[in-house]
């Protein structure tokens, strides 16, 4: 659902600070580019819990030198991605039981046959 649509485009932190300069700033929030180590930590936290509560979010944001909003939005986006993936996994499971026939079923089979002679020669 798009229950978050009302907050798209608004920046609760006011105008972007000088540290945000260097990009095209057309009164829109610049997309945050996270450092690899920040993403790694965010992913770790997400594995532990899909929802980040107030104090934990504040602490994590401070640790990663990010704003609370950046952490909050990352978690929102990550949950959307996570839900989409789990839906796809459910669909894949259903297709295994022949409910939905995946298009790739026959191509993977023929690939296995092609590889068999190679194994024999070794």
Model pLDDT, residue 36 = 95
* Calpha distance 112→97 (Å, rounded): 20
Domain boundaries along the sequence of the chain: 34-94
The residue among 25 and 40 whose pLDDT is bigger is 40
* Calpha distance 49→1 (Å, rounded): 21
* Calpha distance 31→47 (Å, rounded): 24
Hunting for tokens 């993403």 — which residue is that? 39
Q: What is the pTM of this model?
A: 0.52
61-96 pLDDT tens trace: 999 999 999 999 999 999 999 999 999 999 988 888
Longest dimension (CA), the chain: 68
DSSP string, 100-113: S--TTHHHHHHHHH
CATH of region 34-94 = 1.10.10.60
Q: What is the mean pLDDT of the chain?
A: 74
* Calpha distance 95→100 (Å, rounded): 4
């Amino acid at each position: 659902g798009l229950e978050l649509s009302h907050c798209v485009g608004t920046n609760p932190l006011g105008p972007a600070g000088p540290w945000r300069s260097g990009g095209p700033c057309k009164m829109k929030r610049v997309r945050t580019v996270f450092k690899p180590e920040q993403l790694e930590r965010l992913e770790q936290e997400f594995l532990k819990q899909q929802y980040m509560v107030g104090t934990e979010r504040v602490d994590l944001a401070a640790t990663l030198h990010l704003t609370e909003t950046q952490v909050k939005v990352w978690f929102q986006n990550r949950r959307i991605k996570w839900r989409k993936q789990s839906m796809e996994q459910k669909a894949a499971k259903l297709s295994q039981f022949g409910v939905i026939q995946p298009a790739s079923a026959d191509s993977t089979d023929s690939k296995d046959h092609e590889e068999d002679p190679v194994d024999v020669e070794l």
